[in-house]
Structure 1
């Protein structure tokens, strides 16, 4: 699956990938929420959910709490993400002319505490600056993982690539399904995402499905910063913990 980013998202919730759009292999839903002006979105789904603010100005409401957060360009500002268990009621109020969120949800009967994760929780980790001549230099932000929420069925994070750099490299894979969502700065940028032996051109607001056990490196064109949100669906008894590197590129793992 590749969802091209040429067509703008409409205001409100936009389903992009997952069982609701005919792709049961993912075992999770991925959507894009656009709040235009002073609008709001309410949800009380019987699934685990994560609402990641990509950019904008919103108030998250849950469990009797109200917290207003703002985020500018993802290159410079860290993420805010509301993570809730199945059945929790959520309200998101928009304040800016244009607020963007990615929405991730999947079945999960296990209970855990709702939590608003902040940039302090998803710290910038720089990788690849001192290896392979800096060609894989990137910033990684882990948001939801087995470390901070072992009851979750989702693993969620962000990667920021400098212009002309590679991400997800050396080539790696894992048995759990995954979705990547890309944006660029400037917005007319582009890159390439590999899934196994297939290569997809990615533009602003493009989503790509990563099939189980397929290598999936990506690259951004010179002159353009690349932002990717990646979400992995843990498998029963087999949660994602770390990647498996393609043996062909084993000697390059120091860049990870």
Structure 2
């Protein structure tokens, strides 16, 4: 269990969590890429990798292909994500004054296909609107899953919470390690993320590590929208399919 205070980010690539920083139990690296103007980033690491555009205007280049994509506010615009296997050289060219991407890397010897995922691949799914008086209403976007890429060692998605709503609720857990990364709109927003019995204040550009089968619900303060990227590392022979719900809250019969 750990919270990362990572504001502000330096221009370029910033490692946030993972074995290179002593978080061996995560079994994956999570980083943040900030591109200012016409800057370029290249990555040919021997890992499975996912490059998720959070905001801005970039061109993804890989295996002779080029695709320019742009994204406005995450609340209103779906994700673009380049997903590649180990060793494929990726070049990301920035075009906007400021572009932001999350970078996810893990060991995987499987021959994955290169995939450029778009909002059409990660459609908005509204959950929780019809239970608990709408207090857990949220938008979920599944980007990488066992359904869409069974040979991947990553599970990646986004969740959008309206002001004052809860996410990850009813309380649930799973054996696979996970990282949550939070942003808020307006940017001075905040929320709370519970990991087991610990409560962490989350502000714009902070992350929380989740391990040890800990419950991990979160809540957004009224007046603000919360965005979270969640990335789970599948375990050998035990990929993440669905969570286990805490029996204490079973009587709520709330929709997931």
TM-score of the pair, normalised by structure 1: 0.99
Aligned to 2:5: 4
Matches within 5 A, 1:12-161: 12-161=12-161
5+ residue gaps, structure 2, are: none
Q: Which runs of 4+ in 1 moved over 4 A?
A: none
CA distance in 2, matches of 1:136, 1:12: 36
CA distance in 1, matches of 2:231, 2:253: 22
Q: After superposition, what is the alpha-carbon deviation per residue over 1:38-82, rounded to whole angstroms, capped at 9, x for unaligned?
A: 001001000000000000000000111000000000000000000
Aligned to 1:241: 241
Aligned to 2:208: 208
5+ residue gaps, structure 1, are: none
CA distance in 2, matches of 1:24, 1:253: 36
- In structure 2, the CA distance between the partners of 1:172 and 1:253, relative to structure 1 (3 Å rule), is farther
Q: After superposition, what is the alpha-carbon deviation per residue over 1:188-232, rounded to whole angstroms, capped at 9, x for unaligned?
A: 000000000000000000010011310000000000000000000
Per the TM alignment, residue 244 of structure 1 is displaced from its structure 2 partner at its CA by: 0.3
Q: After superposition, what is the alpha-carbon deviation per residue over 1:78-104, rounded to whole angstroms, capped at 9, x for unaligned?
A: 000000000011000000000000000
CA distance in 1, matches of 2:255, 2:98: 37
Q: After superposition, what is the alpha-carbon deviation per residue over 1:139-193, rounded to whole angstroms, capped at 9, x for unaligned?
A: 0000000011000000000000000000000000000000000000000000000
CA distance in 2, matches of 1:157, 1:251: 28
CA distance in 2, matches of 1:37, 1:252: 49
Q: How many residues align?
A: 255
State the secondary structure of the residue aligned to 1:254.
Answer: coil
Given the alignment of the two structures, is residue 223 of structure 1 paired with residue 223 of structure 2, yes or no?
Answer: yes
CA distance in 2, matches of 1:133, 1:255: 11
State the secondary structure of the residue aligned to 1:46.
Answer: coil
CA distance in 1, matches of 2:252, 2:149: 30
CA distance in 1, matches of 2:128, 2:232: 22
Aligned to 1:194: 194
TM-score of the pair, normalised by structure 2: 0.99
Aligned to 1:250: 250
- In structure 2, the CA distance between the partners of 1:66 and 1:226, relative to structure 1 (3 Å rule), is same
Cα RMSD of the aligned pairs, angstroms, is: 0.7
Aligned to 1:164: 164
- In structure 2, the CA distance between the partners of 1:246 and 1:81, relative to structure 1 (3 Å rule), is same
Q: Note if contact 1:4-1:202 (Cα within 8 Å) is conserved in structure 2.
A: no
